[in-house]
Amino acid sequence: MMRQRRLGNSGLHVSVIGLGCWGMSHAYGPAEERESLATLEKALDLGINFLDTADVYGHGHNERLIARVLKTRRPEAVVATKFGFVGEEHGAVGVCGRPDYVRTACEGSLKRLGIDVIDLYYLPRRDPGVPIEETVGAMQRNRSLIDRLNRLSRTCGHSPAQLALAWLLARDPSIVPIPGMKRRPYLTENAAAADLRLRPETLAALDALGEGVAGERHNAQNLRFVEK
């Protein structure tokens, strides 16, 4: 069974690896509803109980999708959903944290999820910006780091994703990674990372790679909502 960790000071105990559900409704190529539902079921079977979604994912579709699984498996799941992203005319996106909006957004998420209580409800980000020249330079440096990570994964006999997840878990007992997954093979692969115990020399090599990462994890548009 999947190990668990206490999530910050919340009192929630979640699987050491969560399931990011965005790709089941919006990102990373076309979504397959039947496979998405099977992936959610498989996650709970594996003990991955931390399901992360947002009201904006697929304009509510993602929460409604998860609700179909929660109908029979609510006690097994820790449900996290986000609010705050609001669409504006011509596709612009803003962040809203007004009390009246929060209440309305929360009521909408509860209805779509078909539950009485949201286990973790949070506003994910706020706003600075990054010059495009820095982003282009970062892309070139990061390509070299990816090549080094691939070589290290071949040496260790684990996938790059498994190495990255095991490295995160080893860094601090409060860290709970939530990789986005929408197909069962990736779910099984990533879940196996929970049981990996990396050698000190492998952790040191991954630390060195992490220190060399350049740039931000979001594009310029999304960086406007990231608080540093």
Could you report how far apart the first and last alpha carbons of the chain are, in Å? 36
Residue carrying the six token digits 């509510």:
60
Strands 85-87 and 93-95 turn out to be: antiparallel
Do 116 and 75 contact (CB within 8 A), yes or no? Answer: no
Burial code (b: 16+ CB inside 10 Å, e: under 16) for 15-39 equals bbbbbbbbbbbeeeeebeeeebeeb
DSSP 8-state secondary structure symbol assigned to residue 173: T
Catalytic residue among 57, 121, 122, 186: 57
* 121 included as an active-site residue: no
Q: Which residues pair with 81 in a beta bridge?
A: 53, 121
Q: Which two tokens stand for residue 54?
A: 């947002």
Distance from C-alpha of 55 to C-alpha of 62, rounded to nearest angstrom: 8
Structure tokens at 185: 């093979």
Structure tokens at 50: 């931390």
Which residues carry out catalysis? 57
